[in-house]
């Protein structure tokens, strides 16, 4: 069960414990400290994360005619274009055996979003090969300054650049050995979408996992729109308003509203109920200047400029992927969360509520704000929820800074989890969602090896000489030079002993205390390090270390017991009584063999006589 609890505040200053002594120097120091702290909190970018940058790679090879016969890549790109937040950067490339840039990297303005919709119209399925390595290199060529770098790779094929399979294998090797490390060095996360069961899922998953991205698949055309929604929420999440039974509230600060509504096959057309009671459908929206409605690919994508304040309703079936996203000066963010985490890893996160880019810190406003964060598992079930605050009480770290801290610790099954942050006040409601992937395994494996002493050839007992802790790192994920183990071993008959060491290699061996080898022990602690994409990571370590009994050396059964050291002369002469007994036993054995042979011959002779008489 995921657990949300308070992060450790040990690295934060504790101003309450400081007491001035009345001197001018202390008063000046305190005044200076408070001014610097307030200034830092007031800076527009003090809490803001770097803006996201998305480079989208869409496969246009000929095999897509079978995989995507309806060309749903077009509405998927239009969906992404309408959802991408205005402060992000976007680039779109089409690739097969060549790479065509249909939208150069640019700020996600209204003009850029129109460019993405136009770029979607150029998607075809007409190129003979699928050059994934070249496409990734092209997408990795130019990035903006201080952006969160993401590539979305949509493909249905393998690394396929030639009819010669040997050429393809060399290209795949180059992808693994050169292209992926270069992406890692540039802090690029690659999120892959496999568009068919024929896709090389192994290589697409490897690309995503090694760069810290998501590996998703769309097994049907209907899946693709939801997959792109998940990618948007993993790479460039945007402020929204909560949907409760398809109802939501628009406040005066909202300048644009975007609705995503998924429909089942055969469902009635979607309608939107306005605050004044009126209703709008796709036909009416086409005649309204402030409305844009795209009802393709089994979903409605509706954008309204300057929506009236009040209560709205989506008149359609409820769906967990329905969204109401907004452009507003009153934003909710969830910055700096990774897209991939590992079993047992603890992630410190934060909700940040800003107005015109400034954190909201005034008590008259924050006193009425309710904030929370909820974790949902891959099938949408809520697995934990925690109320947050900005007054310095658990789980908040520092009160009054406009940041609502939390800690996530997911230990459930692997898959894509959703973190949903909410903040509400008397006149507004905001929500933001972030997708994170819980990996299948930790990026290291720990075990205990036992090394036994060797027999010296003189019959000396051979006992296990040493137990060693072996830690093998996945160096495609972790940077070995930065890894370290901090643990202790506690045994049944002795106190705890600290185990600390750097883990500088892919495989590391650490001697455990030799005096505890016959005791059952427990090893517990943590491994700290840094991922290849530059993120600090702490992972738990726990092992049972069973005691080992001594093992006696094997003895040659034909050898006589060793005599005492003072009997060497007696050993050389031998024991006459033993020799006599061995001789008598040999004579007795010969006599027995002779008697048996004689008896057998006698019986044979008698049988022959009886046969002759007959």
Residue holding tokens 């480079």? 55
Q: How confident is the model at residue 196 (pLDDT cuts 50, 70, 90)?
A: confident
**CA dist list (Å): 277 to 382, 527, 592:** 33, 59, 119
Q: How confident is the model at residue 101 (pLDDT cuts 50, 70, 90)?
A: very high
Mean pLDDT over 226-250 rounds to: 94
Mean pLDDT over 30-46 rounds to: 33
Angle subtended by helix axes 221-235 and 73-83, to nearest 10 = 30
Mean pLDDT over 154-165 rounds to: 89
Of the ranges 35-39, 98-102, 320-324, 337-341, which one carries the lowest mean pLDDT score?
Answer: 35-39
Closest Cα partner for 445 from 541, 377, 510?
Answer: 541
**CA dist list (Å): 550 to 105, 494, 502, 520, 521:** 68, 19, 31, 14, 17
Look at residue 465 in the predicted model and tell me its pLDDT: 65
CA distance 208 to 471: 24
Look at residue 562 in the predicted model and tell me its pLDDT: 52
Mean pLDDT over 393-412 rounds to: 89
Higher model confidence: residue 594 or residue 399? 399
The secondary structure of 86-127 as a DSSP string is TTSEEEEEEESSSEEEEEEEEE--HHHHHHHHHHHTT----B
Closest Cα partner for 64 from 264, 265, 218?
Answer: 218
**Residues in Cβ contact with 249 at an 8 Å cutoff, skipping those fewer than 6 apart:** 241, 310, 311, 312, 429
CA distance 3 to 168: 45
Cα three-residue angle 223-225-226, rounded to 5 degrees = 65
Look at residue 601 in the predicted model and tell me its pLDDT: 55
CA distance 519 to 341: 35
Q: How confident is the model at residue 534 (pLDDT cuts 50, 70, 90)?
A: confident
Look at residue 595 in the predicted model and tell me its pLDDT: 62
- Domains, the chain, with CATH or none: 3-11+335-438 (2.60.40.1930), 52-235 (3.40.50.410), 247-329 (2.60.40), 444-545 (2.60.40)
| pLDDT > 90 in the chain, percent | 53
Kindly report the number of other CB atoms within 10 A of residue 398's CB atom.
17
Interior/surface letters 586-610, b for 16+ CB within 10 angstroms, e for the rest: eeeeeeeeeeeeeeeeeeeeeeeee
Residue holding tokens 């406003």? 365
Q: How confident is the model at residue 265 (pLDDT cuts 50, 70, 90)?
A: confident
CA distance 243 to 363: 28
Look at residue 551 in the predicted model and tell me its pLDDT: 57
Work out the mean pLDDT of the chain and round it to a whole number: 82
Higher model confidence: residue 366 or residue 435? 435
**CA dist list (Å): 74 to 57, 88, 98, 401, 543:** 13, 21, 19, 43, 51
Mean pLDDT over 425-429 rounds to: 92
Residue 288 has pLDDT above 70, yes or no: yes
Of the ranges 119-128, 155-164, 328-337, 576-585, which one carries the lowest mean pLDDT score?
Answer: 576-585
Residue 331, exposed/middle/buried by CB under 10 A (0-12, 13-18, 19+)?
buried
Look at residue 146 in the predicted model and tell me its pLDDT: 87
Pairing of strands 464-473, 507-511: antiparallel
Reported pTM: 0.75
Q: How confident is the model at residue 44 (pLDDT cuts 50, 70, 90)?
A: very low
Of the ranges 257-266, 353-362, 491-500, 601-610, which one carries the lowest mean pLDDT score?
Answer: 601-610
Look at residue 347 in the predicted model and tell me its pLDDT: 87
Look at residue 580 in the predicted model and tell me its pLDDT: 55
Look at residue 192 in the predicted model and tell me its pLDDT: 94
CA distance 533 to 522: 33
Give the model confidence (pLDDT) of 442-472 as tens digits.
899 999 998 876 665 655 555 556 889 999 9
CA distance 535 to 181: 16
Q: How confident is the model at residue 102 (pLDDT cuts 50, 70, 90)?
A: very high
Q: How confident is the model at residue 140 (pLDDT cuts 50, 70, 90)?
A: very high
Mean pLDDT over 582-597 rounds to: 61
């Amino acid at each position: 069960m995921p657990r949300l609890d308070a992060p450790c505040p040990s690295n934060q200053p504790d101003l309450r414990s400081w007491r001035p002594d009345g001197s001018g120097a202390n008063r000046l120091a305190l005044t200076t400290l408070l001014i610097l702290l307030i200034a830092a909190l007031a800076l527009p970018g003090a809490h803001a994360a770097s803006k996201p940058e998305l480079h989208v790679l869409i496969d246009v090879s000929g095999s897509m005619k079978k995989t995507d016969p309806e060309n749903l890549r077009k509405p998927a790109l239009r969906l992404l274009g309408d959802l991408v937040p205005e402060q992000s950067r976007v680039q779109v490339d089409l690739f097969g055996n060549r790479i065509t840039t249909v939208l150069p990297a640019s700020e996600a303005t209204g003009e850029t979003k129109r460019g993405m919709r136009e770029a979607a119209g150029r998607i075809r399925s007409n190129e003979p090969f699928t050059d994934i390595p070249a496409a990734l290199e092209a997408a990795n060529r130019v990035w903006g300054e201080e952006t969160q770098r993401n590539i979305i790779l949509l493909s249905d094929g393998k690394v396929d650049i030639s009819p010669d399979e040997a050429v393809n294998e060399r290209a795949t090797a180059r992808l693994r050995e050169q292209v992926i490390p270069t992406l890692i060095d540039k802090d690029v996360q690659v999120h892959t979408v496999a568009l068919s069961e024929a896709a090389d899922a192994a290589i697409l998953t490897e690309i995503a996992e090694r760069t810290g991205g998501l590996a998703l698949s769309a097994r049907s055309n209907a899946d693709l729109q939801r997959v792109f929604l998940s990618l948007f929420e993993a790479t460039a999440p945007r402020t929204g308003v909560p949907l409760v039974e398809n109802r939501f509230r628009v406040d005066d600060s909202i300048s644009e509203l975007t609705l995503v509504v998924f429909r089942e096959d055969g469902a009635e057309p979607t309608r939107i109920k306005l605050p004044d009671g009126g209703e709008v459908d796709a036909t009416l929206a086409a005649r309204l200047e402030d409305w844009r409605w795209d009802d393709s690919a089994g979903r409605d994508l509706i954008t309204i400029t300057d929506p009236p304040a009040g209560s709205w309703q989506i008149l359609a079936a409820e769906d967990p992927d329905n969204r109401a996203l907004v452009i507003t000066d009153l934003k909710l963010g969830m910055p700096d969360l990774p897209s991939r985490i590992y079993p047992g890893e603890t992630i410190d996160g934060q909700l940040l509520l800003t107005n015109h880019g400034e954190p909201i810190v005034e008590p008259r406003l924050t006193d009425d704000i309710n904030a929370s964060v909820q974790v949902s598992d891959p099938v949408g079930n809520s697995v934990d929820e925690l109320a947050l605050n900005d007054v310095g009480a658990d789980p908040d770290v520092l009160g009054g800074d406009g940041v609502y801290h939390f800690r996530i610790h997911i230990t459930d099954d692997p898959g894509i989890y959703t973190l949903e942050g909410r903040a509400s006040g008397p006149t507004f409601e905001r929500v933001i969602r972030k997708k994170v992937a819980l990996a299948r395994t930790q990026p290291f494996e720990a075990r205990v090896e036992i090394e036994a002493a060797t027999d010296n050839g003189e019959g000396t007992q051979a006992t296990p000489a040493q137990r060693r802790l072996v830690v093998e790192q996945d160096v495609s994920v972790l940077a070995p030079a930065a890894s370290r183990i901090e643990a202790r071993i506690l045994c049944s008959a002795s106190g705890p002993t600290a185990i600390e060491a750097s883990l500088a290699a892919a495989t590391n061996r650490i001697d455990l205390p030799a005096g505890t080898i016959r005791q059952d022990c427990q090893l517990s602690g943590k491994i700290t390090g840094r991922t290849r994409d530059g993120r600090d990571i702490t992972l738990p370590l726990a092992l049972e270390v069973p005691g080992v009994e001594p093992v006696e050396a094997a003895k040659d059964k034909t050898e006589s017991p060793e005599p005492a050291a003072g009997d060497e002369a007696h050993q050389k002469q031998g024991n006459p009584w033993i020799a006599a007994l061995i001789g008598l036993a040999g004579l007795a054995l010969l006599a027995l063999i002779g008697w048996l042979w004689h008896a057998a011959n006698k019986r044979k002779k008698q049988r022959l006589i009886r046969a002759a008489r007959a």
